[in-house]
Amino acid sequence: MARLLGLHTFALAVLFCVASGQPCVPVYNTTSSRIEGKLNVHLVPHTHDDVGWLKTVDQYYFGSRQDIQLAGVQYVLDTVIPSLVANKDRSFIYGEIAFFVRWWFEQTDTIKDAVRQLVAEGRLEFVNGGYVQHDEAAAHYVAMIDQTTRGHRWLNATFGKLPTAGWQIDPFGHSSTHASLLCGYLGFDALFFGRADYQDMERRRKTKELELLWRGSASYGTEADVFTGNFADGNYNPPSGFNYDWGSWDRDNQIQDNVCLEEINVDERVEQFVQACKRLGNMTRGNDIMIPMGTDFTYSNAWPWFKNMDKLIHHTNLDGRINVLYSTPSQYVAAKHAYSTPWPLKTDDFFPYADCPTCYWTGYFTSRPTSKAWIRSSTSFLQAVRQLEFLTPLTLSQLKPASTSDVDSSLKLDKAPETVWEGSRQLAGEAAATPLIGPASDALEEVVSLLQHHDAITGTEKQHVANDYHRRLHAGLGKGIVVPVYNPLGWERQELVRVPISLAASKDWTVKGPDGKAVQSQILPTSSSTKRVQDAYISASLAHKHHAGEAELVFLASVPPLGYAVYSLDASSKRRAEGNAFVSLEQSWSDYRAATSELTEDLAIVANDDMVVKLGPTGQVTGIQDVSSGASVSLGLSLTAYNSSDALGPEPRKGPPAPPSGAYIFRPDGEKPSGDPLEARIAQGPVLTENRVVLEPWGEVTIRAVQGLSHLEIEWTVGPLPFKDGFGREVALRYTTNLTTGSTFYTDANGREMQKRERDHRPSWDLNVTQPVAGNYYPLTAAIYLEEPGFAQLGLITDRAQGGGSLRSGELEIMVHRRTMFDDERGVGEPINETLTGCFDCQAQGLIARGTHHLALKDTYSAATYRRTLQQRVNDPLVMIRLAHLFQVNESSLAHPVKVDLGALFEGFSFESAVELSLSGGKELSQVKRLSWQAGQDISKRGGADSSAGQRADSAASAAHTNFKVPPAYNLAEADR
């Protein structure tokens, strides 16, 4: 095997010192295992390979553009595998299946056999196992499951083995949905990560709570509890001085132990390592600690790593004070589980994340807003296409591949169906019962999975990488998929359809439904914000003026559950014919009010049968009322532009410089809220009513009430943000009401369950408020709401991931667009300065972003039902055979277990059997066996009070373990992005 792997077989030759006759170097003993009564140090060799960040995914894989970053993933795997084969004690873990699949299909059968053997022995261990290491703030839970499933299906088909540990070492905060759904419910025994708030970690280091039991969801009870480890340095690096990567060695960190040569440093190296381990041991319960040996894109030459780790294990174990061994997360978790002791319990999440008093990583919740919108809509589109493929199943004989090069010539029609991964040219045979996934949807699945990566959907990549992501997404969507008006949900729905039209040929249009009869429709003149967007694209030569629609034809489409409907739009030759679209007249607000003769009081407009909107003297909204419940609140809308801070630090200019706002960090330096509207216009008709308000030269808001819908659409158009004055702008849309909500509000966790938030408060520790705005921003993947108990709830559903919060009682604030002038010194090396032409260091016109908030006011008894249903309509078109309960525990009267009749759900299909699988489809659910853990004190309910629980509860786990003395000069933390 060694020869076939490219290794040279050789006889062991031991050099001897001529003077003493003793060996110059020892034969290294790396066969260590756990020793009771000693501090056991589990070395976990790993690499973290971003699937795009500073370089594109291809550049990272091939190792090109080394002028940007020294990184080449193919060489990592090329050298790690023979390094493992060379020593049976060595181990390695890997997580990014997007890269591993690429490498795998370039290997010979002999290499593949060697890898299979390493996996079977547990020496090559996959962690997470998703296509990418997804983000936990901006990614929707459906997309998180999908990208994980993509990786797990390949691992199961290739190795017959799935991961048992989560490895989210790089994301910038951690969600309860990931812990409960993508770890516990997925079948993982543990989760490990690097980043958590610096105040939180400072406390938990002292109380020995870096390792705990995380109960992310009350809805699952203890079923989804997951053992969670937070690396003590807040990152995922080896101790300072022990990075053995080729070309990036720290000073004097290699171990020099050839006694026939000079400058031997074994004693010095062992002493520094022992002290580092003792310091970590003082923060950890029990006699086992884990040290990640690697970081970003390390091991492109694995030999220096393993050679030095062999020496480190050998010489440190000879020293005898601690016991060092090669290990993996699963081996480490098994050691921890054997303690049979309670672990601190956490029931909240790890948002927001800050790594210094002025460094809140809450900007990325909104960074690259148009990219976030495109990814979200593509995710929803993918789910709908999958359902259509299932409802109209393809066979191999019917399937036309995107190109003949995409399909292996060995694929024959008499074989079992194959799964085609066009994006990675993967062909993996699966069971004959597995349905075929068509190349069109698979190409889209591949890129949608890719874009859940924590430097993709977050908007924290370089501009040229963002451009590459968008090119791939465009290609994934452009595979010839044709979808009619389709409803992927399990109930009938009515949705507003808006189609740009030209009035040059005809000013009369008719919309006909599936039965050929005319349906109510309305022609709306193009708004000033739409004209501004059109003009910007025309001036940038990105569109032709003939492509600009003069109006919109709007109508409500009724679509049956899991069904589709076809509507025809025709330019009518008959003026004012029955069934023609109603032509709306857009009026200025002053003209409209003059016609009503009500010049001073707020004007109540009956927007539709369900909502009443009140408008003030200048045309701005002043209040809304829900007709069915009678709930009524005052409401004000404004745009607030925060000035992005520079790199000089907060005012007054005292102390060290602080990072400016950038791709990751939001650090505002003053704000300018919009005043009275610059212009207000209104358009009414039988389908909808629009109140169009210009708040800034670069910012407009349209309040839209649609007949038959019990909520409002708030469409915002922001940009290009001014930049010639040298200041960045971070723009929030603010909703101000008279609801009495105090400091409490609620945000969603990845579109799944809602999390209670309190301003200037953290459940797990006593928060020192240093950034009253940025420190109170949370990720909004899909929703946020305010509630005055016993009266009303104001819920807001977003169409993309955004950041926001409630900075005052009765107020919501959602950041919608960002343009910064500086890099925030967290690694990406660029500001967020998006332009229409895709360059960031040019004078091109800035990007214009447009989106929609769905605003619903309901009484507290019916609010959850309406909000959840609305959220699913906007964000959650689920794959048909992945069933999810709509409500979390205690959220609604409907929040109780239900039985599902699969026969009724799949009417028209015949089934021989049904098997319940794990969440990623990798195993039968009955085969998933998880470790059971004991829960101790709930640190999320101690109100931030100081606690010595860590010292009190160390119990049997550390009875034989005493605190070690460590030289005070040793610094555990190592700076990194």
Express each pLDDT in 691-735 by its tens digit: 999 999 999 999 999 998 899 999 999 999 998 888 899 999 999
- Helix, strand, coil % in the chain, rounded to nearest 5: 25, 25, 50
Could you give phi then psi for residue 855, rounded to 5 degrees?
-110, 125
The string of DSSP letters for 846-881 reads BPPEEEEEEEEEEETTTHHHHHHHHHHHHH----TT
Q: What is the pLDDT of residue 575?
A: 66
Q: Residue 945: pLDDT band by 50, 70, 90 thresholds?
A: very low
Distance CA 352, CA 172 (A): 8
Answer whether 848's CB lies under 8 Å from 719's CB: yes
Q: Taking the alpha carbons of 581, 585, 589, 593 in that order, is the dihedral positive or negative?
A: negative
Q: What is the pLDDT of residue 654?
A: 54
Q: What is the pLDDT of residue 824?
A: 94
Cis peptide before 652 (omega within 30 of 0): yes
Report the 10 Å Cβ neighbour count for 959.
12
Q: Residue 170: pLDDT band by 50, 70, 90 thresholds?
A: very high
Distance CA 380, CA 359 (A): 33
Q: Is residue 412 pLDDT above 60, yes or no?
A: no
Q: What is the pLDDT of residue 544?
A: 78
Answer whether 562's CB lies under 8 Å from 392's CB: no
Angle at 359 between CA 376 and CA 165, to 5 degrees: 55
Mean pLDDT of the chain: 84
Mean pLDDT along residues 948-966: 37
pLDDT greater at residue 87 or residue 913? 87
Of 401-405, 553-557, 637-641, 799-803, minimum mean pLDDT range = 401-405
Q: What is the pLDDT of residues 931-941, one digit of tens each?
A: 788 888 888 87
Distance CA 362, CA 665 (A): 6
Distance CA 574, CA 509 (A): 9
Q: What is the pLDDT of residues 314-357, one digit of tens each?
A: 999 999 999 999 999 999 999 999 999 999 999 999 999 999 99
DSSP state of 455: T
* Radius of gyration of the chain measured on its C-alpha atoms: 30
Strand duo 792-798 + 849-859: pairing: antiparallel
Answer whether 681's CB lies under 8 Å from 692's CB: yes
Return the closest-CA partner of residue 663 out of 350, 237, 372, 236: 372
Q: What is the pLDDT of residue 966?
A: 38
Return the closest-CA partner of residue 138 out of 751, 862, 717: 751
3-state secondary structure of 302: helix
Q: How many residues does the chain have?
A: 977
Could you give phi then psi for residue 381, rounded to 5 degrees?
-60, -40
Q: What is the pLDDT of residue 961?
A: 35
Distance CA 634, CA 824 (A): 38
Q: What is the pLDDT of residues 97-154, one digit of tens each?
A: 999 999 999 999 999 999 999 999 999 999 999 999 999 999 999 999 999 999 999 9
Q: What is the pLDDT of residues 418-440, one digit of tens each?
A: 333 433 333 333 332 333 344 45
Q: What is the pLDDT of residue 480?
A: 40
Q: Which two tokens stand for residue 713?
A: 């659409």
**Beta strand spans in 306-371 (E):** 323-326, 342-346
Q: What is the pLDDT of residue 877?
A: 45
Strand duo 165-168 + 190-193: pairing: parallel
Mean pLDDT along residues 927-954: 62
Query: Which residues share a beta bridge with 805?
Result: 813
Q: Residue 882: pLDDT band by 50, 70, 90 thresholds?
A: low
Q: What is the pLDDT of residue 901?
A: 67
Distance CA 659, CA 889 (A): 41
Q: Is residue 963 pLDDT above 60, yes or no?
A: no
Mean pLDDT along residues 250-266: 85
Answer whether 760's CB lies under 8 Å from 833's CB: no
Distance CA 94, CA 897 (A): 38
Q: Which two tokens stand for residue 480?
A: 């010839």
Q: Is residue 79 pLDDT above 70, yes or no?
A: yes
Strand duo 551-559 + 778-780: pairing: unpaired
Q: Residue 534: pLDDT band by 50, 70, 90 thresholds?
A: confident
Query: Which residues share a beta bridge with 397?
Result: none
Task: Work out the widest C-alpha separation in the chain, in whole angstroms.
Answer: 111
Q: What is the pLDDT of residue 628?
A: 87
Q: Which of 269-283, 604-618, 712-726, 877-891 has the highest mean pLDDT?
A: 269-283
951 by Cβ neighbours in 10 Å (0-12 / 13-18 / 19+) ranks as exposed
Cis peptide before 163 (omega within 30 of 0): no
Q: Residue 408: pLDDT band by 50, 70, 90 thresholds?
A: very low
Q: What is the pLDDT of residue 403?
A: 34
Mean pLDDT along residues 573-594: 81
pLDDT greater at residue 867 or residue 957? 867
Q: What is the pLDDT of residue 946?
A: 41
Alpha carbons within 13 angstroms on the beta-carbon side of residue 522 total 23
